[in-house]
């Protein structure tokens, strides 16, 4: 933070002065601008580590500054000053590319953590990081560009996509490619925490606050302090917890169960679910205000069938990983195995590819994976040969998905847990798919 160069843009002299004093005390170097045009001139003359700008000013607003900065060679993070409680403007600023926002009146600890975050970005920008996301298809290149654009922002991102498409990996990439990389990444499966333990899991508890609380516990928010909290399957949060989560996100603070004081936390929030959050809001199962707060930016992860040109790279990536883990040589794919994979639709996406290859890796002989090792029925692959005739992709996929699910359930005598495992999806995912396609397990006969 020492010697960080900060530009303060505000039309009110007393706010400029107040910010200058606070930032100078923190060891930063400050410049000030009283209008948007004044700010443009300063930005053109000097390089900054952070721009702190007011929203509403005569002759232009903070959003103009965000857009202007994006055209500069050196693009310092821009943080917006917003009136307390004006979430809409804050969200608009984040969407436009602001790194973060601070509510007025400005709390010094929040200002400090904001400046620290911004200075970190200036440092990490110097060293671009290798992407975790394997693939060179157009959708993956686009995804990687979006990750690079969003990884340094505090904007909450809602990562949408089918089961197994790589949502958690995208969350990890957003964390590890950004300025928070050295801090913790804490993934949490919201559907897996029992409702009665949820508050204590998220916010921590004090010793003795309930039966079983034998010692103080920090909770997920504090464990992720300085880093990123990834709320997976966020649609599974009970409504009562949604209220508490919203409060913690808005206040940037948490109070442990049985605790007296609220503790400030600096956590970036990412979330994902394979459910359609808009439908969940409409059905009254997900709070609109929380949806609005989490879904500042939506990052869709494409299903594997929309990036089949990545299959060879992904296959190679997984086989190399299995071989390294087993300390043996990497098997090759026979031509027929390659063909079989390229004709398959992968309803379980990349996780399914990974599972198919892992099984084949264990089964194959003489370092060669044959089509039979993949365990994909001829039926499925032949059916996919007729993709040229598809005139409604959603209907076609629903028919396919139905057949895959029914076959898997027939093989396991209707055991959903086992069928889910064989398909490379979670139990929750199979339950969701069966509901969506109206498949009644009791009506499925064993072959």
Q: Which two tokens stand for residue 169?
A: 């990996």
- Specify the residue, 271 or 290, whose C-beta has the smaller distance to ligand ATP: 271
* Residues at the contact surface with ligand ATP, assessed by CB under 6 A: 133-135, 161, 163-169, 232, 274, 314, 317, 350-351, 354, 426, 429
CA atoms within 13 A on the CB side of 22: 19
- The edge-to-edge listing of strands for the beta sheet with 50-54 is 29-33, 5-9, 50-54, 78-83, 100-104
**Backbone CA torsion sign across 224, 173, 152, 126:** positive
- Specify the residue, 317 or 416, whose C-beta has the smaller distance to ligand ATP: 317
CB of 229 vs ligand ATP, minimal distance in Å: 15
- Specify the residue, 54 or 168, whose C-beta has the smaller distance to ligand ATP: 168
Q: Which two tokens stand for residue 137?
A: 């298809």
CB of 430 vs ligand ATP, minimal distance in Å: 11
CB of 98 vs ligand ATP, minimal distance in Å: 27
Residues in CB range of 114: below 8 A, 6 or more apart: 50, 79, 100, 102
**Backbone CA torsion sign across 226, 232, 237, 243:** positive
CB of 152 vs ligand ATP, minimal distance in Å: 21
In angstroms, the CA 131 to CA 92 distance is: 28
CB of 352 vs ligand ATP, minimal distance in Å: 9
- Specify the residue, 169 or 439, whose C-beta has the smaller distance to ligand ATP: 169
Residue 285 DSSP symbol: S
In angstroms, the CA 257 to CA 267 distance is: 19
CB of 408 vs ligand ATP, minimal distance in Å: 16
- Specify the residue, 117 or 348, whose C-beta has the smaller distance to ligand ATP: 348
- Specify the residue, 199 or 236, whose C-beta has the smaller distance to ligand ATP: 236
- Residue 102: strand pairing partners: 81
Q: Using only the alpha carbons of the chain, give its radius of gyration.
A: 25
CB of 330 vs ligand ATP, minimal distance in Å: 16
- Specify the residue, 6 or 423, whose C-beta has the smaller distance to ligand ATP: 423
Q: Which two tokens stand for residue 290?
A: 């929380």
Exposed / middle / buried, residue 333 (Cβ in 10 Å: 0-12, 13-18, 19+): buried
Q: Which two tokens stand for residue 71?
A: 């055209």
- Specify the residue, 199 or 232, whose C-beta has the smaller distance to ligand ATP: 232
Q: Which residue is nearest to ligand ATP (CB)?
A: 166
CB of 325 vs ligand ATP, minimal distance in Å: 13
Pairing of strands 263-264, 253-254: antiparallel
Residue 78 DSSP symbol: E
């Amino acid at each position: 933070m020492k010697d960080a160069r900060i530009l303060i843009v505000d039309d009110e002299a007393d706010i400029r002065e107040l910010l200058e004093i606070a930032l100078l005390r923190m060891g930063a170097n400050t410049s000030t601008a009283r209008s948007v045009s004044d700010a443009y001139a300063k930005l053109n003359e000097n390089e900054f580590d952070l721009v702190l700008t007011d929203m509403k000013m005569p002759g232009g607003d903070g959003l103009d500054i965000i857009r202007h900065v994006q055209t500069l060679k050196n693009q310092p993070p821009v943080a917006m000053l917003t009136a307390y409680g004006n979430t809409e403007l804050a969200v608009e600023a984040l969407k436009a590319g602001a790194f973060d926002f601070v509510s007025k009146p400005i709390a010094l600890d929040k200002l400090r953590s904001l400046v620290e975050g911004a200075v970190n970005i200036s440092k990490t920008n110097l060293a671009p990081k290798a992407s975790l996301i394997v693939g060179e298809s157009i959708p993956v290149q686009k995804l990687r560009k979006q990750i690079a654009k969003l990884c340094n922002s505090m904007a909450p991102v809602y990562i949408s996509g089918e089961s197994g498409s790589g949502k958690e990996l995208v969350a990890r990439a957003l964390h590890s490619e950004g300025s928070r990389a050295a801090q913790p990444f804490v993934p949490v499966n919201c559907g897996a925490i029992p409702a009665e333990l949820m508050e204590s899991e998220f916010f921590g508890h004090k010793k003795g606050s309930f039966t079983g609380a034998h010692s103080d516990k920090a909770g997920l928010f504090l464990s992720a302090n300085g880093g990123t909290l990834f709320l997976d399957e966020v649609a599974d949060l009970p409504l009562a917890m949604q209220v508490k989560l919203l409060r913690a996100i808005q206040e940037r603070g948490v109070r442990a169960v049985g605790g007296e004081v609220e503790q400030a936390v600096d956590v970036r929030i990412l979330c994902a679910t394979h459910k359609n959050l808009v439908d969940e809001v409409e059905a009254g199962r997900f709070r609109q205000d929380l949806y609005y707060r989490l879904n500042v930016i939506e990052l869709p992860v494409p299903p594997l069938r929309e990036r089949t040109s990545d299959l060879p790279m992904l296959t190679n990536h997984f086989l190399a990983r299995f071989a390294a883990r087993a300390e043996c040589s990497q098997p090759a794919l026979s031509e027929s195995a390659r063909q079989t994979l390229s004709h398959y639709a992968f309803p379980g996406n990349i996780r399914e590819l990974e599972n198919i290859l892992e099984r084949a890796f264990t089964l194959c002989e003489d370092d060669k994976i044959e089509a039979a090792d993949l365990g994909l029925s001829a039926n499925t692959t032949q059916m996919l040969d007729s993709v040229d005739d598809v005139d409604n992709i959603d209907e076609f996929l629903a028919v396919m998905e139905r057949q895959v699910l029914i076959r898997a359930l027939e093989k396991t005598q209707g055991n959903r847990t086992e069928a889910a495992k064989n398909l490379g999806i979670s139990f929750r995912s199979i339950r969701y798919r069966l509901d969506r396609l109206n498949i009644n397990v009791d009506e499925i006969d064993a072959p």
